[in-house]
Structure 1
Amino acid sequence: MKAHRSSSPSRILKAASIPRTATSRSRSTSPSAAFRKFATAVSIPSPQYLSIRPPNTPAAPAVPSPLFTYGNTSPVNEDLFRYTSGRWLYNEAEQMAQRYVKFDVAALHQVIASATGSHVVSMEKKEGLFNKSFMVKLANGKQVAARIKNPIAGPAHLMTSSEVASMDFVRNHLGIPAPKVLAWNSKAESSPVGAEYIIMETAKGVELGSVWRTMDSKQKKNVVTSLAALEQNMLNAKFSQYGSLYYKNDLPEMSRARGKLLASGSRSFGNTEKFTIGPIASRNFYEDERGAMNLNRGPWSTPEEYLNSLALREEAWISKFAKPNIHDDPFRNVSGPQHQEEHLRALEQYRSIVPALVPSSKKVLSSTLWHPDLNPGNVFVSDDEERRVVGVIDWQGCWAGPAYLQMSAPSFLYAGDVDSGLEFPKLPEGYETMSADGQSFAREHHRAKMLYKLYEIKQLYPYRIDQRETRTMPVRAAGRTWKDGVLPLRLALLDVFAQWHELSTPDVPCPLRFTRDEVRQLKEQRDRYLDWHDLLEDMRATFGLRLYGWVSPDEYPSKRALLEGTRSRLPVSLTSELDAVLPEDWWPFRDTVPSAIAMAA
């Protein structure tokens, strides 16, 4: 059994308890072989020659954050409102529109001055994919952070109001060093600023990502143990329902949880009367046309209600709005045509087995707040030899959900597979006969696994469940069938079918049925799916692209020229071979989301 990890479509397929079939394709006509010819033809290195991040090091940020300085005497320009930290090589108009927000700069300055008692000297813009953050220098020498929510971040009002309430709760009731909020507004239409904003204190200490690689084993252990201690405070607070956390005054009464905030048996955390659990603020329940639909967004009283809501949400959207082959990232696009009926049938099958997916342990079902993204940029450690966690930022999207679905390891820990359990990792066989460089690499790898194992034993192991992958993979696949394809869900259902007696009582018949031909076809489809997405990952690595085709502004002209000229230079014999072994429209560097103007026409 492997330790729990977040689930990409490929991970869902690889984790399913069915063996990969032997392929009838010859080596020379496989996608991988075709890619090697492709890489040679365009005179760019294959992925194996690209630099690989060594283990036990934090991943580079998804988006670099160049700073844009704005002082009181500078003219206001569009760079404050639009996204300027990168470009997209495809679907750029859509990506930019989702990150454009205009606001009144003078009004924001006034809000900051009122909240801090000092006027603004300068602002530096530091962008992420979902928000615009400004590091604000004040006349009194202090600094605060001002954040403006981009439209892509999530639902209006709910996302900001939930984040503020969550930071207040974890900071003042659970002892988590979240930023102190100085001022905020979640209703752009009634704010002089004209946008949702949060003004907060900056985090103490130093960003973990800037020091993690230089820290020794003892310091890294201090990070893990101090973080686990803080998270334990969150695990001690068990809520009465599942959903996002709000101040009661920010929700209509009909949207609030009924009864007390905390579940019976939960520890007392002072006077929490001003808080309530309300509808989930996750952007997955609001993206595309979902925001205007009448969906069950919680709060939910049982895990079955929540698990069913994921499928019902997608069924409603697919029935009315789904359009084949429109995808915000063609590198995650699905090969071949998509049929609404096939998706709806799979989602109906998923709902039929929901009771068997829910573990029996009340502990793992407890409604628990959990930080949604513990990457090294969101964790701050003390600026001393101890390096203990002193700050945790970016609580956007935090919600109270079933503990067994919420809990996962921080992304800065070891990213590979580690056997779950109490046994610690060992050095690889043959270590004594390795070269000095090989032994050094093996020790580094081993230390990374040991650190992950320390976190697992302290935090994850007490919340272990039997048949974890079989229970969680359908849940993670059900909410994304149109984006990731229906195959991950169908294979997850096949895994449930194969493991049914371990999930349910023997006298409960499995509602799923698969013929031998269906099983054979699903395995063949999985092999093609994995080949296809392996090829896409190789192509993306070869061209040096990040998710969604993001590149830095400096890279954009050369990358655009490279892509525009590459396909036209490919030999006819190679394109014919690629057309034979790959899906239609295999060339992924293209717009796949129609512009608003085109859709209106």
Structure 2
Amino acid sequence: MMDPESSELFNYTTGRFLTNDARRLQERRRVFNIPGLFNIIAQAVHCEPGQIVDFRKLGEGGLNRVFLVTLDTGLRLVARIPYPLLTPKAHAVASEVATMDFLRLKGLPVPKVYSYSFTSDNEAGTEYVLMEYVKGIDLSGIWADLKEHEIISLMDQLTTVESALMSIAFPAGGSIYYTNDLQELGSEGVLLDGQLDGNASEEKRFCIGPDLSVPLWYGRREQLEVFRGPYEDAKSVLLAGAMKELAYLDQFGAPRAPYERLRREHYNYEQQPPSDHAQNLGRYVRLAPSLVPDDSTLSAFCIRHPDLTDSNIRVSTENGGLQILSVLDWQHATVLPLFLHAGIPGFIQNEEDDVSRKMIAPKLPDDFDKLPGEEQEQERELLRRRLVHYHYVLSTATYNRVHHKGFVYPLNSFRRRIFIHASAIWEGETIKLLCALIDLVLGWEDIVTDGTPCPLVFTEEEIRAADKLHRALTTTEGQEMFLRYHVGYGDDTWVPTAHYETAKALGEELKRRTLEACAGVEDSDKVYGAVQANWPLDDMDEAEFEEFK
């Protein structure tokens, strides 16, 4: 009998975490009934359980574990099982399946779903999704080596897919569900009428229900009885996240130190009151309706991939060309106004670079041949990043003009930024929202062009204090980058399993050196104690940690 304590099928083995490792691994541990899952697979693809000749872990993502199932007929399919940390689990599984089915019916390159369950009440004892295995390779495997003609072809294909996706009209905002599933989850939705070529029975299967954006459900927010959609207009979208967070602070808010421990120094290591953030959320609620663009086409509801990266695009390199085969991972997909979806995907955008930002045609420097080998490699990589950004924007302008209009619309990136800050979970700080509000007030006439006066005023003292704190906090970004580079960790202090012991030792050595350096500063004992208590690579107190996870 398989030991659930040690089996890699049930446990997270891809990486470790430098802080709260045991907790992070437990959140990703999922024991299930393998014979029961095999029975489910057999029923889904009309075979016998004994015809399953191979079952192995294919990969582990941030929220799910993926298995490759092989039959004796050669058929392969994917079984995906969510971790316990997925939020909100039932809604997320149900919505993703319905979204994928709906988009396939609309002709988008999305895997076929064979079977699913958004509850653990089944033979496998777990939520699951069984779907088509898409041949080919992940784009991430060749991303760094693409030539310019391949980049152009890929960007043309990608923006064409996005155009087809974003041209689907929706009667409301939120997330897509099967109508019956949403009713089983205790909600009613807005039917997607007129979207599937007049097939009334198919259309009634789908509806728009609650918005699955993670900040709306994170942690104890899932317990709140707050409005999460369906949204009738852009204004209701802009307000929902802030109203949710106000409700959270009212019910659960308590003073806390900033979650990012490197930033605590600039708050004198003191706990921050939730009332400050509640005040800024209230200010945002007053101003949010003015963020709706004057151009009504930018407020039309549309859907976009929730987290487009090179690792969830499946491609073929056969026959000498690069072809997009499928776009994977639609968990937490949302239907929102176009102006809140518009923008260049993170793995493509290179906006911190002046050449990319100004859309100057990329090329190697004139003295490239005279540069040392290492600098030539750096210039080639810089050129590749610029080419990807440049051709995505050009292809979007050609094949997805509505989207292009969205991300070049005046101050549209600011509208998205302040909306994100107002919807985000409170982690002991309010400075990002406060600075965005100040920018909005100071630039009011550029956002609201009809002459309506701004109902909010900041004093010069408030503006100076916010700017001073913001500038001080930017120093922590360099400190964080230094730690990441020298220790070698990613988000949530993740490291590859093989690098864990080395990374732990490097982190401890940096901590030791930092504490030694405290000896020569003013109030050395106080500084030493503060660093010791707030070192960012130490485990965090579980009681404090529970507030965020």
After superposition, the C-alpha distances for 1:450-485 in whole angstroms (9 at most, x for unaligned) are: 432232232442323211233222101112262272
Q: Is the 8 A contact 2:215 2:241 kept in 1?
A: no
Partner residue of 1:186 out of 107, 118, 132: 118
- Residue of structure 1 equivalent to 2:14: 85
User: SS in structure 2 opposite 1:110?
Assistant: helix
Inter-partner Cα distance in structure 2 for 1:101 and 1:430: 52
Which one is further off, 356-365 or 331-340? 331-340
Whether contact under 8 Å (1:246, 1:276) holds in the other structure is yes
Partner of 1:371: 305
Verify: 1:204 aligned to 2:135, yes or no.
Answer: yes
Q: What residue is the counterpart of 1:491 in the other structure?
A: 435
Matches within 5 A, 1:319-330: 319-325=250-256, 330=261
For residue 341 of structure 1, the aligned residue among 275, 296, 301 is 275
Is the CA contact (8 Å cut-off) linking 2:65 and 2:83 kept in structure 1? yes
1:449 maps to what in 2?
Answer: 386
Deviation of 1:367 (Å): 1.1
Q: Does the CA contact (< 8 Å) of 2:235 and 2:288 recur in 1?
A: yes
2:470 to 523, 526, 530: 526
Matched AA of 1:292: Q
Q: What pairs with 1:397-436 in structure 2 (closer than 5 Å)? A: 397-417=332-352, 424-426=359-361, 431-432=366-367, 435-436=370-371
Identify if the C-alpha distance between structure 1 residues 430 and 206 changes in structure 2 by more than 3 Å, giving closer, same or farther.
closer
Q: Which amino acid aligns with 2:360?
A: P
Amino acid at match of 1:92: D
CA RMSD of aligned residues (A): 3.1
Which residues in structure 2 correspond to 1:215-226 (within 5 Å)? 215-226=146-157
Among 150, 156, 167, which residue is 2:89 paired with?
156
**Given the alignment, which residue of 395, 400, 422 partners 1:478?**
422
1:389 corresponds, among 314, 324, 331, to 324
How far apart are the structure 1 equivalents of 2:264 and 2:11?
Answer: 27
Could you say if the C-alpha distance between residues 426 and 341 of structure 1 is closer, same or farther in structure 2, counting changes exceeding 3 Å? Answer: same
Equivalent positions of 1:61-460 (< 5 A) are 78-79=6-7, 80-116=9-45, 117-118=47-48, 119-125=51-57, 126-173=59-106, 175-188=107-120, 190-252=121-183, 255-258=187-190, 260-261=192-193, 268=197, 271-325=202-256, 330=261, 335-336=266-267, 337-384=271-318, 385-417=320-352, 424-426=359-361, 431-432=366-367, 435-436=370-371, 441-442=378-379, 445-457=382-394, 458=396, 459=400, 460=403
Equivalent-residue separation in structure 2 for 1:75 and 1:580 (angstroms): 48
* SS state at 2:227 partner: coil
Against the structure 1 CA distance between its residues 143 and 249, is the aligned structure 2 distance closer, same or farther, given a 3 Å change threshold?
same
Q: Distance in 2 between matches of 1:420 and 1:432?
A: 17
In the TM superposition, residue 281 of structure 1 has moved relative to its aligned partner by 2.2
Give distance in 2, aligned partners of 1:329 and 1:102.
Answer: 32
Which deviations, in whole Å up to 9, do the C-alpha atoms of 1:176-212 show, x marking residues without a partner? 1111111111121x22211110011111322111122
Match of 2:503 among 542, 550, 559: 559
Q: SS at the partner of 2:502? A: helix
Please give the TM-score of this superposition, normalised by the length of structure 2.
0.86
Shift of 1:78: 4.2
Which range moved further: 480-489 or 353-362?
A: 480-489
What are the superposed Cα offsets for residues 144-173 of structure 1, whole Å, 9 maximum, x if unpaired? Answer: 110001122221321111000111111122
Call closer, same or farther: CA 1:218–1:99 in 2, change over 3 Å: same
> Would you say the 8 A contact 2:309–2:347 is kept in 1?
yes
Cross-structure match for 2:411: 467
Q: CA deviation at 1:214?
A: 3.0
1:592 to 529, 535, 540: 540
Equivalent pair of 1:334/1:483 in contact (CA under 8 Å): no
Query: Counting helix residues as a fraction of each chain, which structure ranks higher?
Result: 2
Please give the per-residue CA displacement for 1:489-516, whole angstroms capped at 9, x wherever unaligned.
0000010011101111454221221111
Give percent identity, aligned residues only.
Answer: 26
Residues 223 and 389, structure 1, Cα contact 8 Å, conserved in 2? yes
Cα distance in 2 for residues equivalent to 1:152 and 1:555: 24
Classify 1:405/1:434 alpha carbon distance in 2 versus 1 (closer, same or farther; 3 Å). Answer: farther
- Mapped contact 2:17–2:24 kept (Cα < 8 A): yes
Classify the secondary structure of the residue corresponding to 2:212: coil
**Does the C-alpha gap of structure 1 residues 291 and 203 become closer, same or farther in structure 2, counting only changes over 3 Å?**
same
Range 426-435 or range 213-222, more displaced: 426-435
Q: In structure 1, list runs of 5 or more residues that go unmatched.
A: 1-72
8 A contact 2:19–2:539 mirrored in 1: yes
Report the number of matched residues. 522
Verify the 8 A CA contact 1:146 1:198 in the aligned structure 2. yes
TM-score normalised to structure 1 length = 0.79
SS across alignment from 1:353: helix
CA distance in 1, matches of 2:134, 2:31: 26
- Residues 311 and 571 of structure 1: is their aligned pair in 2 closer, same or farther, counting only changes over 3 Å? closer
* Conserved? CA contact 2:157–2:324, under 8 Å: yes
* CA contact 2:176–2:206 (8 Å) conserved in 1: yes
Measured against aligned partners, the alpha-carbon deviations of 1:234-257 in whole angstroms (never above 9, x if no partner) come to: 122110111010111111297333
Change (3 A) 1:444 1:75: closer
Q: Secondary structure of the residue that 1:103 maps to in structure 2?
A: coil
**Aligned CA distance change for structure 1 residues 192 and 596 (closer, same or farther; 3 Å):** farther
Alpha carbons 1:334, 1:484 under 8 Å: kept: no
Q: Counterpart amino acid of 2:293? A: P
Greater mean deviation of Cα atoms: 239-248 or 584-593: 584-593
AA aligned to 1:180 is: K
Q: Is the 8 A contact 2:227 2:244 kept in 1?
A: yes
Structure of higher RCO (CA pairs closer than 8 Å, 6+ residues apart) = 1
363-372 or 461-470, which deviates more: 461-470
Could you list the per-position Cα deviations for residues 421-461 of structure 1 after superposition, in whole angstroms to 9, with x for gaps in the alignment? 99741458974588345677546534532432232232442
> Given residue 459 of structure 2, which amino acid in structure 1 is its aligned partner?
T
The 2-side partners of 1:94 and 1:598 are apart by: 11
Deviates more, 1:328-337 or 1:92-101: 328-337
Q: CA deviation at 1:340?
A: 1.1
Give the counterpart letter for 2:116 in structure 1: W
